Structure 1
Amino acid sequence: MTDDVLDVVDVLIVGAGPTGLTLAIELARRGVGVRIVDAAPAPHRESRGKGIQPRTLEVLEDLGVTERVLATGTTDLPFRKYFDGQYVNDTARLADARPTPDAPYERGVLIGQWQVERILRERLAEFGVDVESGTEVTGFEQDADGVTAFLAGGERVRAGRLVGCDGGRSRVRKALGVRFDGTSEPEQSMVVGDVVAEGIGRDAWHQWFTPEGGVMLCPMPGTDSFQFQAGPELDADGEPLPPSLESFQRIFDRHARVPGITLTDPTWLSVWRVNVRMVDRMRVGRVLLAGDAAHVHPIAGGLGMNTGIQDAYNLGWKLALVATGRADAGLLDTYEEERLPVAAWTLGVSTELFAKVLEAVKEPGTGVEVAAAPPMGTGYPWSSLAAPATTGEPDVLRPGDRAPDAPCLDASGDPVRLFQMYADPRFTLLGFGAEVAESVGKLAAEHDGLIQAFTVDGGDLRDHEGHARRAYGVTGPALVLIRPDNHVALLARDPAEVTAYLQRIATFTPKE
């Protein structure tokens, strides 16, 4: 297109990794006009970040892709450790973990990042939106009414909002001029890549350690390849040598000491250096940042892809309400309010985990299971969107917390889970008890299009085993409002509190 052609869209997303794709799905399923562009000429096939955490599986269930992720990846891969060439043990840290009524996913999934992106692209296409590969945003300008983005081919795009999901080297972030505070530690680095290794079993994540270092081979599900991880070879000045298949082989032979194994068919070779950085702002006017464009950190714990997906899940419903005119732009302030503290927590946790990994490899019998991260996505109790509770038990559940799952029966007596009911772009109102059934119906009618509503033990759903009441800390009649990103918005008895909350969303002002 030429410079005199101006496309107009509600939201332009720059970057089609897991973060950008998740955001595009969240917007498209709410009827928001969205374009998603990526500078790369074609999708990559690199394992990169290779773990989906349980909370992220809940997010992906809401997007409609968790079954595809579980079918592609694996949840059961033990760590097999060796020291000085000798087998030490197999460990399966979560072997005894079981799903619970309020948390259906007891463990994460090992899956290549490229596979996650492929699943998300397929889901996005089901909403009629395709990634525009080989499309680079060279710059943008914003004013009071929107953002004009300039593409490398000469096209201009006019968007209501622009979201930079373009990674750690984000051009969008640099153009905004926001700070990217933190540290870089080039002396701490590792080489990673995808290779084939015939003769190594694919039933475990192999981890060979010596007093000088270690090497790991992780079989990637659905492929013939392993992800290779190790400390780099250094030149005479102590700088990492460029990664190559030959250097990978030398590193493997040095630490694994397994004769006759040849690494072949490399599809990805990279040097990864420790960077611990985050922005001081995630929104400047009509331009927002998400994922690695807003925060980068050590890879231990698999937090990067998960944090980015959860950024997008938090932002998507808010941006959709603003883009469709159902909420004031002030609602977008809560994105930064809620996600910046999570980014800071992630930086602290992942840095600590990386240090533990470096320490662990010095001792036989230890390994990367120490790098398992604590649960993510537990909630935003500090948020302006967390209304004071006027019912329920605060030691069980508070506004801002992650909304628990629970098995119920529907009106026909068939089994159904709350998460299945929440898989809807709107707020969800649960009315516990027949006493509130009439109020639930009125609220649904008054706020049609913004909420869906169900009466529990009074018509729509039956809490036949009491799991829902226990999970939500409810003993008597109660109204529970669940945000579109499946966090508790409000715990109340008075229907007027629900109305007041929804009216505040529509013209958002921070709580006093």
Structure 2
Amino acid sequence: MEEEIKTDVIIVGAGPTGLVLAIELARRGVDFIVFDKLPDRTRESRALGVMPRTLEIYEDLGIVKQALSNGVEMLGERLFVDGTVAVDWNFSEERHNEQNRKRLSHRLHCALQVDSFYCKPLLLHQVSVTEKLLCEKLAAILGPDRMNYALQRPVEVTSLKVGHTFAEGVHVCACSLSDPEESNANAEGQHSEDTGSVDNVTPRTSEAETTSSMTYGWTTSGDTGQQGPRTHRIRGKQFNVHARYVVGCDGARSFVRKSLGIPFEGFTIPSEFIVADVVMTWGVPPDRNKFNLLTAPNRMVECCPLPSGPSLLEPPPRLPDGGATHRRQGGGAARQYGSSSSNRWRLTTIRRIAEDRPEAMLECREARPPPSKKELQAMTAKLVAGTIIDHVIWSSSFSINCRSAAFMKRGNAFLAGDAAHIFPPLFHQGHNTGIGDAYNLGWKLAHVLQDGANPALLESYEQERKPVGDAVVRFTSFGYQEIIEAKGYIAWSMKNILPLFFNNKAFNSALTNRISQCHIKYPVDSGAVGKVFVSDSALPGERAPDATVAIISSEPSTVGNFIRLHEVYVGSGHVLLFVLRIPLSSEGPSGSSWFNLCSSQSQTAERNIIGKELEQIVEFASRVRSRIEKTKVVLLFTVGLASIVPPNAQFSGLSFLIANFKERMSKNFPNQAPEETCVAWDVEGEVTRRYRLHLHPFTKHKCAAFFLIRDDKHIRNHGYCGDTYAEATCIDSLSLYHP
């Protein structure tokens, strides 16, 4: 049976990268379909570390509160060399509760030095929490009926034809696999993210076959180590899908990448990861807020205590052939082990491979099953004597790769996540980088498909994200093989040299900011980033900084509602931020403070100056919105220092200015929603500091600045208000959105 489908975007792979991309498209009204080989989310916990930048993305998607409530905030990492702590590295010098979390201005006192509200990594299960939250969010946007159609499981893409123009689009053939109840829940995932690795699997049959069984991988559940090839039987239902674009989020052995003939450049380390969630007793301190790396000559274990959660389940019943199957509904609840997380651990260790051509491991031609409980205990006990593993919840084996696709875009096809770059799990960068890819690509596809933007906008995806992926590959791969072997001079250096670096505040700041992924800056020549006009301010391409502000309501009796700028920015559209500097009491010819001006009815020269700036702001906002209609306008008053928010009393100067500004905006945009225009006060002076502004209230063209912030919360354009060249350059560059 064949089904003909027409859609806008085909997403291959439903891991975190594919799901984030689906959400980005769904909330912008883009039609899409997702194909995933697995009948359901994998049972393995897989990726754990969620970096601050990813938490900011989750905030924009509307799932960060659920993620925080289900995760554990990580405070640092420990390095043990030959049983002794060589480095005890704290991300933060102080622990913050939810109350002082709201005081963003105090967050920079921590050693992490990450300018983010979420300045520490989060330990979160990829499958049981992350993918569950993403699926629930997607279902909430689409509705249950549309969700069942948009996410197709288990379906495998068998052929791909990619055009090079918008009109040519893409054509994909796919086939459904066996019913979920007949499939193994532990089948090899096509989106093994944050491992820098590839699941060990036996060779598959030809991609073109549609009637034979497909072999998927080696994965075990339980203590015995029994395993066997996991197979799905194809039922024969065919999908012929015509779309504008296809995005390969299908993991390290990406069918999309191979079909496009894109080289996967790099190398494979002649070792393999053994990853397991276990219940165990050993001598490692069970600090649930620390990652641990234990090394000795030719031995390495990376570990962290696991939080309580639904992923830590008794494995499903065994099939006669050694495979496993999903527990059916009504078949009884899965059993959790232990009442606390102190005896449950995620272990990652190394097993050497005698392979003359380690790159062959990328295709898993020499697949070996994971170790049994007995073997895993023996491997761990060599490093930590007296280790007793009581139960293996889940385990798998992976090859270790350091590779990057030569291209992330070819014609109307894109690569994202592990399909584009894989690397060792150093500092937990993997699935965070993939989510960043999806967050960058989704809004661009939507502008092209929904708003008629020039398809040339999509060229900026590879220009912006490939350097990021390449940099992470270099960063995580440098010296990794030497670290896991920990021989001679390397072991001595880790004991005696590394502590000197980690105790240096500048090194600590640079490293922790790098792993947070908040430092990422896109190049000016990408096509989606404008020119630099204020060299010492926050620059185009940078992530827009966060800050505490007070929303000034149109209600006369309301003083203000304290909120963060990133909360104001939440939503699927651009933001045009205006920062207007107003005088202190010691500034200006009258010597009167702006607080008094705003609280009085007097008509002064200072107000006329501010009024002229507001006229220019409204005029420029109108020009931007003529190019990008879905643009939220934020007008921010600042004195450059912490200050009390002036009361917006009836007939006061502030009330007059706000009413005048909003009246002008409503005349220019009669169909705009009220929330699309926001007036705020820089209550802590943070906006001035973090956007690195040097504004002067009585200097022509220097008393106000603008920042055009993209959907992904990176700065697109900036400049001084009234700088006609900066404003004209910004408007001209928006021709990509509205030719």
Q: 1:142 aligns with which of 142, 150, 162?
A: 162
**CA 1:322–1:307 in structure 2 vs 1: closer, same or farther (change >3 Å)?**
same
Alignment-derived partner of residue 256 in structure 2: 172
**Is the contact between residue 406 and residue 471 of structure 1 (CA under 8 Å) also seen in structure 2?**
yes
Alignment-derived partner of residue 387 in structure 1: 530
Cα distance between partner residues in 2 of 1:374 and 1:78 = 12
Q: Which digits, 9 at most, give the CA deviation of each residue in 1:216-251, with x for residues without a partner?
A: 432222335421111226689999963222221111
**Does structure 1 residue 109 correspond to structure 2 residue 122?**
yes
Q: 2:303 aligns with which of 217, 222, 238?
A: 217
Greater shift in the superposed pair: 345-354 or 374-383 = 374-383
Q: How does 1:54-93 map to 2 (within 5 A)?
A: 54-76=52-74, 79=77, 88=85, 91-93=88-90
Q: How does 1:10-25 map to 2 (within 5 A)?
A: 10-25=8-23
Q: 2:134 aligns with which of 120, 130, 141?
A: 120
Q: 2:619 aligns with which of 435, 439, 444?
A: 439
Q: 1:489 aligns with which of 694, 716, 739?
A: 716
Partner amino acid, structure 2, of 1:466: G
**CA 1:497–1:265 in structure 2 vs 1: closer, same or farther (change >3 Å)?**
same
Partner amino acid, structure 1, of 2:54: T
Alignment-derived partner of residue 427 in structure 1: 574
Q: 1:310 aligns with which of 436, 442, 451?
A: 436
Q: Which digits, 9 at most, give the CA deviation of each residue in 1:120-148, with x for residues without a partner?
A: 11111111135322111111223443222
SS in 2 for 1:243: coil
Q: 1:193 aligns with which of 256, 272, 276?
A: 276
Alignment-derived partner of residue 317 in structure 2: none
Partner amino acid, structure 1, of 2:549: C
Alignment-derived partner of residue 470 in structure 1: 689
Q: 2:379 aligns with which of 251, 263, 286?
A: 251
Q: Which has the larger radius of gyration?
A: 2
Cα distance between partner residues in 2 of 1:454 and 1:327 = 24
Alignment-derived partner of residue 99 in structure 1: 107
CA RMSD in angstroms comes to 3.0
Partner amino acid, structure 1, of 2:93: D
Alignment-derived partner of residue 265 in structure 1: 392
**CA 1:172–1:273 in structure 2 vs 1: closer, same or farther (change >3 Å)?**
same
Alignment-derived partner of residue 37 in structure 1: 35
**Does structure 1 residue 182 correspond to structure 2 residue 266?**
yes
Deviation at 1:489, TM superposition (A): 0.7
Cα distance between partner residues in 1 of 2:626 and 2:280 = 62
Greater shift in the superposed pair: 73-82 or 461-470 = 73-82
Deviation at 1:90, TM superposition (A): 8.2
**Is the contact between residue 273 and residue 349 of structure 2 (CA under 8 Å) also seen in structure 1?**
yes
Partner amino acid, structure 1, of 2:684: E
Partner amino acid, structure 2, of 1:473: R
Greater shift in the superposed pair: 130-139 or 323-332 = 130-139
Deviation at 1:385, TM superposition (A): 2.2
SS in 2 for 1:42: coil
Q: Which digits, 9 at most, give the CA deviation of each residue in 1:104-127, with x for residues without a partner?
A: 122211222223222211111111
**Is the contact between residue 164 and residue 172 of structure 1 (CA under 8 Å) also seen in structure 2?**
yes
Cα distance between partner residues in 2 of 1:16 and 1:72 = 21
Percent of paired sites with the same residue: 32
Partner amino acid, structure 2, of 1:195: V
**Is the contact between residue 456 and residue 736 of structure 2 (CA under 8 Å) also seen in structure 1?**
no
Cα distance between partner residues in 1 of 2:452 and 2:475 = 37
**Is the contact between residue 39 and residue 133 of structure 1 (CA under 8 Å) also seen in structure 2?**
yes
Alignment-derived partner of residue 349 in structure 2: 230
Alignment-derived partner of residue 510 in structure 1: none
Partner amino acid, structure 1, of 2:691: Y
Alignment-derived partner of residue 201 in structure 2: none
Deviation at 1:63, TM superposition (A): 1.3
Partner amino acid, structure 1, of 2:450: T
Deviation at 1:351, TM superposition (A): 0.5
**Is the contact between residue 233 and residue 247 of structure 1 (CA under 8 Å) also seen in structure 2?**
no
Q: 2:732 aligns with which of 473, 495, 500?
A: 500
SS in 2 for 1:378: coil
SS in 1 for 2:55: helix
Query: TM-score when scaled to structure 2?
Result: 0.63
**CA 1:90–1:74 in structure 2 vs 1: closer, same or farther (change >3 Å)?**
farther
Greater shift in the superposed pair: 151-160 or 215-224 = 215-224
Q: Which digits, 9 at most, give the CA deviation of each residue in 1:426-480, with x for residues without a partner?
A: 1100122251442355346535633111211274111122211222233121121
Q: 1:455 aligns with which of 604, 625, 635?
A: 635
SS in 1 for 2:47: coil
Cα distance between partner residues in 2 of 1:202 and 1:157 = 51
Q: Which digits, 9 at most, give the CA deviation of each residue in 1:17-54, with x for residues without a partner?
A: 11111111111111111211210111013232221111
Cα distance between partner residues in 1 of 2:634 and 2:259 = 46
Deviation at 1:414, TM superposition (A): 0.4
Cα distance between partner residues in 2 of 1:389 and 1:87 = 49
SS in 2 for 1:178: coil
Partner amino acid, structure 1, of 2:273: M
Q: Which digits, 9 at most, give the CA deviation of each residue in 1:398-436, with x for residues without a partner?
A: 111111111111123101211011111111001222514
Partner amino acid, structure 2, of 1:148: H
Deviation at 1:267, TM superposition (A): 1.7
Q: 1:155 aligns with which of 235, 239, 246?
A: 239
Greater shift in the superposed pair: 151-160 or 402-411 = 151-160
**Is the contact between residue 194 and residue 269 of structure 1 (CA under 8 Å) also seen in structure 2?**
no
**Is the contact between residue 249 and residue 263 of structure 1 (CA under 8 Å) also seen in structure 2?**
no
Deviation at 1:206, TM superposition (A): 5.0
Cα distance between partner residues in 1 of 2:451 and 2:92 = 48
**Structure 2 runs not aligned, ≥5 long:** 95-105, 109-113, 176-236, 313-343, 359-365, 503-510, 554-559, 581-609, 638-656, 659-678, 696-702
**Is the contact between residue 58 and residue 64 of structure 2 (CA under 8 Å) also seen in structure 1?**
yes
**Is the contact between residue 628 and residue 738 of structure 2 (CA under 8 Å) also seen in structure 1?**
no
Partner amino acid, structure 2, of 1:99: R
Aligned residues: 499
Alignment-derived partner of residue 674 in structure 2: none
Greater shift in the superposed pair: 356-365 or 401-410 = 356-365
Partner amino acid, structure 2, of 1:177: G
SS in 1 for 2:73: coil
Query: TM-score when scaled to structure 1?
Result: 0.89
**Is the contact between residue 451 and residue 737 of structure 2 (CA under 8 Å) also seen in structure 1?**
no
